[in-house]
Amino acid sequence: MLASILTVACLAVTTIASWDGNINFNSPSLQHRDLGLDVAKIQKRTGLVARQTTNFTDSQLNFTHGVASGDPYPNSVILWTRLAPSLASDRSNVTVSGTAAFYNHETEEYIRASKHKVCTQWRITSDANLTRVVDHGTAYTTSDIDFTIKVEAKKLRPFTTYYYQFTQCGTTNRSPVGRTKTSPSADQKIDKIGLAVYSCSNYPNGYFNAYGNAARKDRVDYVIHLGDYIYESSVGVQGRDARATNPSRALLTLYDYRTRIAQYRTDADLQLSHQKFAWIATWDDHEVANNGYRDGFSAMNNTEDSFLRFGGVSVDQRKMNAVRAYFEWMPIRQVNMDDNLRIWRNFQMGTLLDLTMLDTRNYDRSITDLNYNTDYIYKIHDDAGRSLMGSQQENWFYKTLISSKKRGAAWRIIGNQIVFSRINITSWFGTFENPYNEDQWDGYAKNRARTFQTLYDHDIGNNIMLAGDSHANWVSDLVWLEEHPYDSATGEGAVGVEFAGTAVTSSGFGGTIQSANNQSSSLVRDNSELQWNEGYYRGYYELQIGYDAVHASYYGMPTVATRNPLEISLANFTVVNGGNKLQRPVAGGKVESGFIKTGQVQMTNLTYNTQNQSWAVRNDFNQMFISYPRTT
């Protein structure tokens, strides 16, 4: 009798764990549990459905978007997949004749949303053959969370590679095998860590070859994404083109955001990157809407007129729809959101580095350039009360930097969305009153000054700032020009380096390679700390971080009009431990494209020598391209 009672109790615990095991039923915030779903009601509803109707057959369910992992800790990692009856996303907050439904793009019809529960089992192993199981579990999913599944694998060892797979319960229907890696423990000595850094992937603009190339080379440990993982606008390819914007309108509802992110995740190279690497991601503005700040966006604000123009959707509701979809689809943990949409967090990766991921867009950002207020923002850009991050995140950031030095981390890697260094853009528009982009750190001068003051006052060196957003490559010494002398030729006076990267596909300078490089030459000329700029190529960069030095390698895609494995090595940079500047000669004195302050620029079929300002024809065009076997 006792054995039977214990068996029933164990089954009950297993059932509860199967629901609780899927993190996506929960709130994105640990401190706002009411933003999660009522699992008890879902259990009751799906239980009734299961008794009244037939569940999905094996052939009706597929792992539609591969697998993913992310937010690695020393002893755990987040695993993700989607097991669903269709590629189409659930229309949970869109009604058709009063009935929740979703649109099936394969049959071009609305289908009543299924309320059946879907059961998955998962395992994570220490071997690629999936035999040495380290942790495993069962998790349910439903249309309430777009059939996504997100679990936390535990019992893992620090800085160790693992393999994982999901299986539909009671069947042989299995997901692809994913690979992931835990982070080092805080006190662990790791010789080297490799990072691939991305931003700004616009689906209609082209294929995500950059994601696949780093996966095919397989030289990094983790992927860092600095935001604009999707674009919320309706601008782009329309109609039945293979990369047509879906949905064709600007995103507002939860269904809209789910559908757009699901579309992006059909790209084969993005799937490959997620399958092979643990991702550490933060959002920029386009995961929600363009030029976001605490009270709105460039085309939407907290007014009655705006509320009516956008179909009764408020700024806050739009943000929550976007965050809910992002939380469901990205391999990201719950975070303490405090009183806002928090994504900023820190990863201590051994004694080698601290990786700090910021949110300079949505958390508590003061008003930005909204296109109609540019002159006003320029007038207040130096106001002490303006903040990119809000006081709570700012204070946390400065304390994190100080703590990182105290604990003895060799490097501080800071992932943020927008270019940190001063960038005089007069050459783009000619002489006018405001020579800066007020949507970047230039529009929040005192916030940048407070950051610099923390670094200088506490003698914090070995700082590497990462940035995306701009759709161009920028490499600069980090220096507080207003307060400290700086020698552009030697780099003396700097406290680190900024590596800002171009977009995966979003448009850059445009024009020809030569016209883009001419634009770069003006930007490098007008900014003393800017050592290299390039705006023609789409691509990414990799960091190889060791105790002695950080090496950065920039790559450009010859074309994103087709899916292909080609890339060009654009430039390579070194930062020596304790140097706090780019090693001279910068990039070894030679880059493939763009413009370097001192050295030689080699274009596709021309070489430009900055010393004698002369061009020479090149004959090694084909030698520039690096091609890797493309995996499906």
What is the rounded distance in angstroms from the CA atom of residue 114 to the CA atom of residue 48? 13
Residue 112 pLDDT exceeds 60: no
Reading the block at residue 440, the tokens are: 């970047």
Tell me the per-residue pLDDT of 274-287, one tens digit each, with 9 for 90 and over: 999 999 999 999 99
pLDDT for residue 593 is more than 50: yes
Q: What is the mean pLDDT of residues 2-13?
A: 35
The answer to whether residue 627 scores a pLDDT higher than 90 is: no
Q: Which of 460-469, 520-529, 596-605 has the lowest mean pLDDT?
A: 596-605
Domains annotated on the chain, with CATH: 2-181 (2.60.40.380), 192-512+519-627 (3.60.21.70)
pLDDT score of 17: 55
Q: Which residue has the higher pLDDT, 36 or 306?
A: 306
The answer to whether residue 610 scores a pLDDT higher than 60 is no
> Does residue 82 register a pLDDT over 50?
yes
State the pLDDT at residue 98.
Answer: 32
Q: Is the pLDDT of residue 160 over 90?
A: yes
Residue indicated by tokens 């890797």: 628
Q: Give pLDDT, residue 622.
A: 39
* Tens-place pLDDT, residues 228-247: 999 999 877 766 688 999 99
Pairing of strands 566-576, 296-297: unpaired
Question: Is pLDDT above 70 for 629?
Answer: no
Number of neighbouring beta carbons within 10 Å of residue 408: 8
Identify whether the C-beta of residue 444 lies closer than 8 Å to the C-beta of residue 386.
Answer: yes
With 70 as the cut, is the pLDDT of residue 53 above it? no
pLDDT at 107 over 50: no
pLDDT exceeds 90 at position 260: yes
Q: How buried is 103 (Cβ within 10 angstroms: 0-12 exposed, 13-18 middle, 19+ buried)?
A: buried
Residue 92: the pLDDT is: 59
Least confident of 303-307, 333-337, 367-371, 549-553: 333-337
Q: Which residue has the higher pLDDT, 129 or 13?
A: 129
pLDDT at 311: 86
- Locus of tokens 């439903």: 142
pLDDT band at 177 (very low <50, low <70, confident <90, very high): very high
Which residues are paired to 193 by β-bridges? 545
Q: Kindly tell me if the per-residue pLDDT of 335 is higher than 90.
A: no
| Integer Cα distance of 221 and 234 in angstroms | 35
- Give the DSSP H or E segment for 452: helix 445-457
pLDDT in tens, 398-456: 999 999 999 999 999 999 999 999 999 887 766 567 788 999 999 999 999 999 999 99
pLDDT at residue number 106: 46
* For residues 362-383, average pLDDT: 92
Q: What is the pLDDT of residue 339?
A: 56
φ, ψ (nearest 5 deg) of residue 164:
-145, 160
Q: Which strand ranges, in their side-by-side order, compose the sheet holding 99-104?
A: 95-96, 99-104, 109-112
Band (616; pLDDT cuts 50, 70, 90): very low
Q: According to the model, what pLDDT value does residue 21 have?
A: 87
Task: Work out the average pLDDT over 355-383.
Answer: 93
pLDDT at position 606 is: 46
- Where is pLDDT greater, at 40 or 563? 563
CA angle, 40 then 45 then 50, to 5°: 125
Q: What is each CA distance from 445 to 292, 422, 449, in whole angstroms?
A: 18, 9, 6
Determine phi and psi for 266, rounding to 5 degrees: -85, -10
